[in-house]
Structure formats: structure tokens, C-alpha cells
Amino acid sequence: MGKHTIRHLISLDDLCDSDVRGIVERGAVLARRAESGLGVGSAALSGAVVGVYFRKTSTRTRTAFSAGTLRLGAGLVAYGPEDLQLNTGETTEDTGRVMSRMLDVLVARTAGDPLEMRAWAAQNRMAVINAMSADEHPTQALTDLTTLAMRFGAVDGLSVLYVGEGNNSAAALALGLSRYRGVRLELRTPPGYGLAEAVLERARKRAAENGSTVSERHDLGELPEDFDVAYTTRWKTTGTSKSDPHWREVFAPFQVSARLMEHSPKALFMHDLPAHRGEEVTAEVLDGSASIAFQQAENKLYSAMAVLEWCRDAC
């Protein structure tokens, strides 16, 4: 493949604003090509080998990176949760050292501590992509930004209302939207289930630098009436559980319903899927004309391809 720059995507904090925008713009270009009936395949990763290791369940992200790898001309090695010698006691560091001698890119979902992925990334031969850790889902945010760019023409200046748990998707969304100018992100999260304070602080600081705002409340009072997008995620985040046996009672008011959408009748609805109709969103909203959740899911493919290209950018 010639010389390549190896770049890792463990957290959106690792990327500069131009990197975030570049990946999103490339993903939008690929999405528009697909929408126009043009092919999105290329030989950009010809000769490379991509490993896809998912310790937790996945439909969209795993399929997107697997299909994206093949569409970009690379070989694919898929690992299940029980396949690696990590399960027999091999150290994280040793696993990374071995895999970096055989793979060009490793896409991993651990739903655990991101330090594990950073250990794998402690070399300059294999790019490492975080396909979801406990605290952040960066590739989901890049998909979300790609979808916003597709539907609105630009991300700058948008107003987004997020309703639900301050989970890893919400964290990534806050860190991603804060890279754009004039954006307003308002998070409404259940009491005790908000965004981690450190993440919220980082997002607010970055947003302020771009003339944007990130705010959070733990109720649904005084909802804005001019938001462009309402966004939610399922209440039971992949790989997690809740200690409070009555957590559903706390979450119940934080459902995206037709009544909530009436606060901004022209707003679109987004969901990272999988969805549980009747819990975090009503069927009327998810399957309604304002919903772009399934286009958002399709954009996972184009965003994944953009990320893979960026991680293996030719010199």
C-alpha cells in the first residue's frame, strides 16, 4: 500500500476540529454518492487487513465496519468475544503487540475501559478504532454528524435536543457537536443518569471556543420551541445494567413522544438504534415522517468508510 500515516480514533478528544469535520464531510460525500445511485466502493485500502473484534453485541457498527472494509478493498478478519487469548490470561499489551504485526487496522468494541484500547494503540503499525467503550461511542457521533450534514447541508448553527440517559452515545454527541460553530445542544437527562461531569466540562469548554453551547437539565420543563433535531437512545445501554430496581420510573417521563415533538413541529427525529418502541420513543415518532433514524443507521456505513480512510491516510 505504500507509506501511510497511522492514526487512532479512541476518543473524539484525540481529533482536532479539522479531522472531525474532514471525516464528516467525507462520510457525507459517500452518502450522497450512494443516494445518487453511484458506487461507493474503491481500492483505498487495497492490500490492508482490518480486524473487527466485538466483545459486545452489535448490528449497525459491526456490519458497517465489516462492509466498509470490503468496499474499500481490504481483507477482513472477524473475532468473536471468546476468540482471543485475552480470555486465557494474555495481557492486553501483548495482544496489541501481536495483532499490530498482522493487522493494519483494529476496530474494537469492548464496552469497557478505553485504557485497554490505548494499550493496543501504543505502537505505530496498526490503527485502532474505538467502536464503543464504556464512556464514549465516537464512531456513532461521527455518523450522527454525517447525518446532520446530509439533511441540513451543514452542522454549524443547528439546535439539538437530546432526551434520555447521559450514556456513551450522548457523551460522544456532546464532544462532536461542540466542534461546530453556533451549535446549541440541550441535554435533558433523568436525575442520577446525566452526562459524566468531566465529559460535560470538556464539551462546554470546546463549545465556548466555537461560539456554541452545551447545557444539561434533569427535567422536561421549559423545552425549547425551535430545535432542529430531537435525539434519543435506548434506556438500556449495551453492556450496562442499572443498580436501582426502580430506574424505569425515573426514566418514564423522558420519552420522546408526539407531544414532545410538537414543541418544534419542523424538527427531525434521530435515534442511534436499536429502539424499544414504547420506552424511550413512541412508535408514532420512530416510524413517523420526521424520523430519519434508519437513514442515520445507513450512514453508519459511509461514516465507517470515512473513518477507515482517515486512519490509513496515504502519505
What is the DSSP code string of 131-166? S--SS--HHHHHHHHHHHHHHHS-STT-EEEEES--
Q: How many CA atoms lie within 13 A of 153 on its CB side?
A: 1
Tell me the whole-structure pTM to 2 decimals. 0.95
Distances in whole angstroms, Cα of residue 100 to Cα of each of 51, 79, 94, 128, 214: 10, 15, 10, 9, 38
C-alpha cell belonging to residue 302: 459511509
pLDDT at 98 over 90: yes
Q: Domains in the chain, start-ordered, CATH in brackets?
A: 4-136+300-314 (3.40.50.1370), 140-297 (3.40.50.1370)
pLDDT at 2 over 70: no
Q: Phi/psi of residue 233, each to 5°? A: -130, 165
Sheet holding 268-271, edge to edge: 213-217, 184-188, 159-163, 229-232, 268-271
Q: What is the pLDDT of residue 112?
A: 83
pLDDT at 4 over 80: no
Q: Phi/psi of residue 308, each to 5°? A: -60, -45
Q: What is the pLDDT of residue 3?
A: 60
- 1 — pLDDT class (breaks 50, 70, 90): very low
Strand residue runs (E) in the chain? 4-6, 49-54, 75-79, 105-109, 127-130, 159-163, 184-188, 213-217, 229-232, 268-271, 312-314
pLDDT at 315 over 60: no
State how far the Cα of 183 lies from the Cα of 165, in Å rounded to an integer: 21
Q: What is the mean pLDDT of residues 266-284?
A: 98
- Quick check: 9 and 130 in contact, CB under 8 A? yes
* Closest listed residue to residue 185, CA positions, set 196, 199, 175: 175
pLDDT at 314 over 60: no
Q: What is the mean pLDDT of residues 120-135?
A: 95
- 239 — pLDDT class (breaks 50, 70, 90): low
- The angle formed by the CA atoms of residues 118, 202 and 296, to the nearest 5 degrees, is 75
pLDDT at 243 over 90: no
Residue type, 243: S
Of residues 47 and 315, more confidently modeled = 47
Tens-digit pLDDT profile for residues 194-238: 999 999 999 999 999 999 999 999 999 999 989 999 999 999 876
The pLDDT > 90 percentage for the chain reads 90
Distances in whole angstroms, Cα of residue 34 to Cα of each of 21, 154, 181, 209: 20, 19, 28, 35
pLDDT at 135 over 70: yes
- Quick check: 133 and 113 in contact, CB under 8 A? yes
pLDDT at 288 over 90: yes
Q: What is the pLDDT of residue 113?
A: 87
Arithmetic mean of pLDDT over the chain:
95
Q: What is the mean pLDDT of residues 97-111?
A: 95
